[in-house]
Structure 1
Amino acid sequence: MDFFVVDTVGGASVSTSKSNPTIKLPGRKSITFESTTRNQNAATSASTASTAKPEEEESDDDDFGGLPPPGQSIAEALNDNDEPVAVPRNSGRRSLVPSSFVEDARPSTSRTGSKNRRLTAANELNKTDVAKELRSSILTPAIEKRENLARFTMSNETLQHLNRLERQKTKGKNWFNLPAPEMTPELKNQMELIQMRTVLDPKKYYQRAEKKRKLPKYFQIGTVLESPLEHYNERGVKKQKSQSLVDELLADAEFQKFNKRKYAEALELRKKKAYHKAVMKMKKLKKKK
């Protein structure tokens, strides 16, 4: 069995035989050098800190447990520290939140943190674009022709009243915005004529309209499009045609005869009723005597 000697000093000479090798450990000089360099660096850093920043040592002595000194108010300290904190964004995904909102957002660990962020985003979207609004305030030569110019100085109640009147001009989307035209005497005669269509022609039957029914408010008058096959047969006749139902009936000779006959019958019936009323009145007077 072979024996060996461990040299812990590194410089001592030990009498050994040639068959017994010696193992040398790393010298102490390297360990001593590292420790000395660390001590020198610590000393230099301590000296520079003591010479360059003496105020920090004083501030450590004046620590009030995170509170401001007695001469400073807490509100001012809070306002001074109220600075926007940038939130790190994920570069892999495309963010749908505006960049201004991300810069103004602050990290919050409370349950209402996400709600506050949503409110901040809504406020950012509700901000008025001043530059865009100022473009419309520039005076131009055609400013008098703008229809909504008078609405700027109106109150909310007046605007609501005007909007209500504007909505009343049509029946609505369900009725394809059927308009309410201005009731002129010509239109009124035509609408009354349509209501009395049962007496226009004795050979045609129409559903009897109510006598006390009011004239419709929403209606529209259309134009009958003629067939293209009658283009050559009715050349020069378009100007001679009447523009309304009343004019067409007045130009019809047969209708004039029928109308005169019915009018005479109505007068005779009225005379008979008047004679009957007079007779009944005389009988009542005789009974009283």
Structure 2
Amino acid sequence: MFQVRTDLAIESRELYKERTRQEVPGVEVNKEEKEDISITRVKILDKIGEEKMGKPIGNYITIEVPKLKNPDEALKEEVSIQLAKEIKDLIKNDNKTKALIVGLGNWNVTPDALGPKVVEKVLVTRHFFLAYKKDEDETMANVSALSPGVMGTTGIETGEIVKGVVEKTNPDIVIAVDALASRNMDRISTTIQISDTGINPGSGVGNKRQGLNEEYLKVPVIAIGIPTVVDAATMINDTMNLIVNSMKEEAEVGTEFYSMLEKLSESEKYTLIKEVLEPFMPNTIVTPKEVDEIIDNLSVIIANGLNISLHPGIDLKDVNRYIR
């Protein structure tokens, strides 16, 4: 059995529907369309849905913004506000909620540096609560943040670091931010996924580590991720689709060949491409060349969304001044 590399629940659903031509049993889906933003809410209801989707029971919210690769300030603010709304709906925090934000990833590798970049920009306040011996505040939440790095640079499992901090600081909720992998080039850097089921660091690039979830950390875990990479087989598959569609319209000879390729399912094409690539090179991970600017923009959007969702008395104007 092949495995298409994706961290997105929306894509797992698409793969199932493509194979079976029917909706996933045990899964509830609804979609909301706005001018520049599309929101898909996937809820896995039971063990059947969990098995078919390959993901734990829970909520998976996908915010798709096609213009997010080159956003203007107005769009960045709109996405931050929408992200904040979705986070609030999931965590339902109050003035006493203590949050730990964990920026997963390798700060030395740009496509994997989303989490650490977000941590640089969030408003951390736990030290003020400790200094003034306060349990709550009308304007600020008790927020701490951590970038644990990766095992290759620390020699310690990310899960072990996070669990140790959770046991010491006793947050009410953990929010983990990470870069993801997608099976669709159009979703790279344009899609935000939020879930209440936790996350497996490194799973998107085939390096699955200890999962950060409620079962392991003993507190609820919200995961926020954006796909920043796609594997080479997926990229070639998308390119081949464009070529087939173009050549089938223009070619007088070989039309049957293009029609045959078109009839192959996405799964069959993906498997074929992987088999062709394998003798020459391993399945390479690809990221956009403008990834530095993209990660900077995305980290601001996520940090703004977190800041205005967690701190009751802080709005977008306040955090924009802070970040800049």
Calculate the TM-score normalised by the size of structure 2.
Answer: 0.14
More strand by share: 2
Greater helix percent: which structure? 1
Rg comparison, structure with higher value? 1
Question: Higher relative contact order by CA 8 Å / sep ≥ 6: 1 or 2?
Answer: 2
TM-score, normalising length from structure 1? 0.16
